[in-house]
């Protein structure tokens, strides 16, 4: 069953390739959604996939690319995005 979550990711996550890494990982796993930087220094993403793939993506996001340092992630349910995965402009 497909599930969709919006995730806010806090820590050293901007200026370290986090969005590009997230896009690449999501596409590898076949996850729909998007990722963008936020003006407050966080990264926001929406992921839509079956439970096992979603859990895997969230676990991977907690680690992030090697130069990132994720302090915390906040998840909430949301509506499903369009198909595919993309990087959105900062908001």
Catalytically active residues are: 19, 37
Q: Are 19 and 37 in contact (CB under 8 A)?
A: yes
CA 91/CA 80 separation, integer angstroms: 19
Is the CA virtual torsion 78, 79, 80, 85 positive or negative?
negative
Tokens 């909430």 locate to: 76
Structure-block tokens of residue 31: 């996850």
CA 39/CA 48 separation, integer angstroms: 24
């Amino acid at each position: 069953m497909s599930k969709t979550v919006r995730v806010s990711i806090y820590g050293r996550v901007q200026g370290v390739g986090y969005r590009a890494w997230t896009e690449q990982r999501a596409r590898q796993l076949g996850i729909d959604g998007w990722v963008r930087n936020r003006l407050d220094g966080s990264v926001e993403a929406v992921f839509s996939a079956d439970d096992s793939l979603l859990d895997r993506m969230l676990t991977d996001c907690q680690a992030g690319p090697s130069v990132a340092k994720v302090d915390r992630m906040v998840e909430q349910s949301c509506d499903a995005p369009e198909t595919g995965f993309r990087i959105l402009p900062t908001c």
